[in-house]
Amino acid sequence: MTSKGGKESDALARAFGVLVEGLTFYDLANVAVAEMRVKVAFEELGRHKKDQLARLEGVAGSGAKEAAVMPGIYPINVVAKVECYVCGFVAETKAMPNTCPNCGAARYAFEKEISLSKAWEIAADAGRKSATLFGESAAHAGGRAKVVLEELARDEEGQAVQAARQLAELRT
C-alpha cells in the first residue's frame, strides 16, 4: 500500500508541477509582453490554469502544491527577466519597473516582443506535453485523483488542439 501511496503522491506532485509552472509562465508572460492580443491570450490561458489547479487542489488539498515538481514544459526563462532595450538593465519580470532605474526609459522599454503565433505555438506544445504528463500521472493514481487527472489530460489535449487551430488560422 505504501508504494502505491508514494507513486500517487509523486504523480500528484508532477501534475501540480505542470499547473504551477504553466500558471507561473502565463502570469509572467502577461506582464512581460508588449502586444495586447498576446497579453489577452496569455491571460486567458493563465485563467484556465488557475481553474485546473483548483480542480486538482479539490482532490489533493492545497498543501500538495508545495511538493510540485516542475517538468520544464514551459519556456519560463524567456519571460522570467526583462531587459531595458535602451541601456541593457535587467530586472525580474515580477518587479518590472515603470521607468528604468539606470537610464530613465519608460516601462515599455522592458516589454518583450512575442508574436501571437509564438504564443499559440507555446500553448499547443505545452498542452500536448501536459496532456501526456497528466495521463501518465493518472496511471499511478486511484479514486477521485485518477478521475481528475484523466479529466485534466483530456482538457489539456483539447486546449492543445484549440491552440493549434488558432496557430493555423494565423498562418493562413
pLDDT tens across 7-17, in order? 888 889 999 99
Amino acid at 63: G
pTM for this predicted structure: 0.90
Distance between CA atoms of 4 and 79, rounded to whole angstroms? 37
Q: Residue 29 sits in a domain of what CATH number?
A: 1.20.1260.10
Q: What is the pLDDT of residue 67?
A: 82
The residue range of the domain holding 20 is 2-77+114-171
Instruction: Let me know if residue 27 belongs to a domain.
Output: yes
Instruction: Let me know if residue 87 belongs to a domain.
Output: no
Distance between CA atoms of 155 and 150, rounded to whole angstroms? 9
Q: What is the number of domains present in the chain?
A: 1
Cα torsion 75, 80, 82, 88: sign: negative
Instruction: Let me know if residue 82 belongs to a domain.
Output: no
Instruction: Let me know if residue 50 belongs to a domain.
Output: yes
Instruction: Let me know if residue 96 belongs to a domain.
Output: no
Instruction: Let me know if residue 103 belongs to a domain.
Output: no
Instruction: Let me know if residue 105 belongs to a domain.
Output: no
Distance between CA atoms of 132 and 3, rounded to whole angstroms? 22
For residue range 13-52, what is the model confidence (pLDDT) as tens digits?
Answer: 999 999 999 999 999 999 999 999 999 999 999 999 999 9
The H or E element containing residue 116 is: helix 116-139
For residue range 100-156, what is the model confidence (pLDDT) as tens digits?
Answer: 999 999 999 999 999 999 999 999 999 999 999 999 999 999 999 999 999 999 999
The H or E element containing residue 83 is: strand 81-83
Q: Which of 149, 158, 168 is nearest to 14 (CA)?
A: 149
Instruction: Let me know if residue 14 belongs to a domain.
Output: yes
* Residue whose grid cell is 519597473: 97
